[in-house]
């Protein structure tokens, strides 16, 4: 059976590559260099060529808080095009099952916590990243309409904030953890303060990329409910950005840290409930944040000259 992974050289795609020998599939990992998924004809040609039985759709135009604020049109339009083309081709080419990756930013800004899957469309998302959030919401709607009209097994996973090796460590456009790792590395190298933008008070749940890779494969093989499923660490594992930054500085053994409160914090919290996951996979053991950060930092230092940044 052939399994096509879009976004196959990104953070989660690389984590799936690391564990692929544990599964009996013919894996095909596709990056933007292999196919421009914003172009329907090229996407269709890819599906004609590969003829996948299953698809894990990870490809997206992504970035951290400040990229979301700066490039609103790109965040909306590029993701809408990618998602439309991939799911349309999955339908045309009779793919048996599609797992599409959303994000916890899809959930409403004003809501009760912890958030569960039923809250997905109950109000607008936070205004700091609403174009990306709505593009991801439409991916869920597109998947659901294919279920309803064509009885397709197109489902969505909703991971919390992901981190790990092979991330984009861009200082300007990266997500929280990789940007902080890069910034602390440079601060120590140049003996300058490790400056964190914002107060550090927002709370987040972070999932290690290899954990998400394993859970995504579990969803492919075991989860057939039409409803989305949250893939997240537990509520008790929620941590502030300040504590993340302090942990990173401790691992680097560099204590010159400061917080620039002139910058916005973004959404204060978006705590998710992983009850559905734990009811179905009760014995799963998540990677502890300190261990995951050590692995991420070690990988970044070892691959500094070649990693995305």
What is the arithmetic mean of pLDDT over 133-154? 96
pLDDT value at residue 65: 66
Given this model, what pLDDT does residue 106 score? 87
Residues 31 and 165: their CA atoms lie apart, in Å, by 17
pLDDT band at 283 (very low <50, low <70, confident <90, very high): confident
Can you give the residue range of the structural domain that contains 104?
Answer: 2-163+206-234
Q: Out of 39-53, 207-221, 258-272, which region has the weakest mean confidence (pLDDT)?
A: 258-272
Give the 3-state secondary structure of residue 192: coil
Number of domains forming the structure of the chain: 1
Q: Find out whether 46 and 5 touch, Cβ atoms under 8 Å.
A: no
Share of the chain above pLDDT 70, in %: 99
Per-residue pLDDT, averaged over 162-184, amounts to 91
The confidence score (pLDDT) of residue 173 equals 75
List beta partners, residue 156.
Answer: 100
Q: Would residue 253 count as lying in a domain?
A: no
**Does residue 253 sit in helix, strand or coil?**
coil
List Cα–Cα distances, 58 to 55, 102, 139, 182, 293, in angstroms.
9, 9, 12, 24, 22
State the pLDDT at residue 224.
87
Does pLDDT of 27 surpass 90? Answer: yes
d(CA 16, CA 284): 17
User: What is the per-residue pLDDT for 8?
Assistant: 96
In a domain, 248, yes or no: no
Distance from C-alpha of 122 to C-alpha of 110, rounded to nearest angstrom: 9
For residue range 245-259, what is the model confidence (pLDDT) as tens digits? 999 999 999 999 999
Which of 54, 66, 130, 132 is the catalytic position? 132
CA separation for the pair 15, 164 (Å, rounded): 9
Residue 271 lies in a domain: no
pLDDT at 138: 96
List, for residues 295-307, the tens digit of each pLDDT value: 999 999 999 999 9
301 backbone dihedrals φ, ψ, rounded to 5°:
-65, -40
Give catalytic status of residue 132 as yes or no.
Answer: yes
Q: Give 109 or 177, the one with higher predicted confidence.
A: 177
Euclidean distance between CA atoms 14 and 73, whole angstroms: 28
Query: Does residue 297 lie within any of the structural domains?
Result: no
Query: CA–CA distance from 11 to each of 28, 111, 112, 174, 207 (Å)?
Result: 16, 29, 30, 12, 12
pLDDT in tens, 215-231: 999 999 999 899 999 99
Separation CA 64–CA 54 (nearest Å): 29
SS3 26: strand
Alpha helices (H) in the chain, listed in sequence order: 11-19, 40-50, 65-70, 72-92, 130-150, 176-190, 209-222, 241-251, 275-280, 289-302
Cα separation, 292 vs 78, in Å, equals 31
Highest mean pLDDT pick, 42-51, 127-136, 196-205: 42-51
37-64 mean pLDDT: 94
Does 89 reside within a domain? yes
Name residue 26's beta-bridge partners: 2
Q: How far is CA 188 from CA 73, 248, 251, 254, 298, in A?
A: 36, 12, 12, 6, 15
Q: Name the nearest CA neighbour of 11 among 60, 79, 71, 75.
A: 60
pLDDT at 66: 62
Instruction: Report pLDDT for 145.
Output: 97
> Is 201 inside a domain boundary?
no
Name residue, tokens 């995305």. Answer: 308
Question: Is 102 domain-assigned?
Answer: yes
Residue 309 contacts residue 190 (beta carbons within 8 Å): no
Q: Place 187 in a pLDDT band, splitting at 50, 70 and 90.
A: very high
Q: What is the CATH number of the domain that holds 101?
A: 3.40.50.720
**Cβ count near 190 (within 10 Å):** 8
Q: How far apart are CA 199 and CA 260, in angstroms?
A: 7
Please state the pTM of the whole predicted model. 0.92
Range in 75-89, 170-184, 247-261 the model is least confident about:
170-184
Mean of the per-residue pLDDT values for the chain?
Answer: 93
The answer to whether position 228 is within a domain reads yes
Q: Mean of the pLDDT values across residues 92-99?
A: 98
At 308 the three-state DSSP class reads: coil
Q: What is the pLDDT of residue 266?
A: 74
Q: Tell me what the mean pLDDT of segment 16-26 comes to.
A: 97
């Amino acid at each position: 059976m052939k399994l096509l992974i879009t976004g196959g050289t990104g953070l989660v795609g690389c984590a799936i590559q690391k564990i692929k020998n544990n599964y009996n599939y013919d894996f095909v990992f596709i990056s933007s260099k292999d196919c421009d998924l914003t172009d329907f004809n090229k996407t269709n040609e890819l599906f004609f060529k590969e003829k996948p039985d299953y698809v894990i759709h990870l490809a997206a135009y992504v970035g951290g808080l400040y990229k979301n604020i700066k490039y609103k049109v790109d965040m909306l339009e590029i993701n809408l095009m990618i998602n439309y083309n991939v799911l349309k081709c999955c339908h045309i080419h009779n793919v048996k099952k599609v797992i599409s990756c959303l994000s916890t930013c899809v959930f409403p800004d004003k809501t009760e916590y912890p958030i569960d899957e039923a809250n997905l469309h109950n109000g607008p998302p936070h205004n700091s990243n609403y174009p990306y959030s709505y593009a991801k919401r439409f991916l869920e709607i597109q998947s659901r309409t294919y279920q309803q009209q064509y009885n397709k097994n197109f489902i969505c996973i909703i991971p919390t904030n992901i981190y790990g090796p092979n991330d984009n460590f861009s200082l300007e456009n990266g997500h929280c953890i990789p940007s902080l790792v890069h910034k602390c590395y440079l601060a120590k190298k140049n003996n300058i303060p490790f400056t964190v933008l914002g107060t550090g008070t927002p709370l987040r749940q972070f999932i290690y990329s290899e954990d998400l890779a394993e859970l995504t494969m579990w969803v492919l093989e075991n989860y057939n409910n039409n409803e989305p499923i949250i893939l997240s660490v537990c509520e008790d594992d929620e941590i502030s950005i300040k504590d993340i930054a302090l942990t990173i500085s401790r691992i680097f053994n560099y204590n010159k840290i400061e917080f620039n409160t002139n910058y916005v914090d973004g959404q204060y919290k978006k705590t998710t409930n992983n009850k559905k996951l734990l009811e179905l996979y009760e014995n799963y053991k998540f990677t502890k944040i300190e261990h995951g950060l050590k692995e991420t930092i070690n990988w970044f230092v070892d691959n500094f000259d070649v990693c995305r940044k």
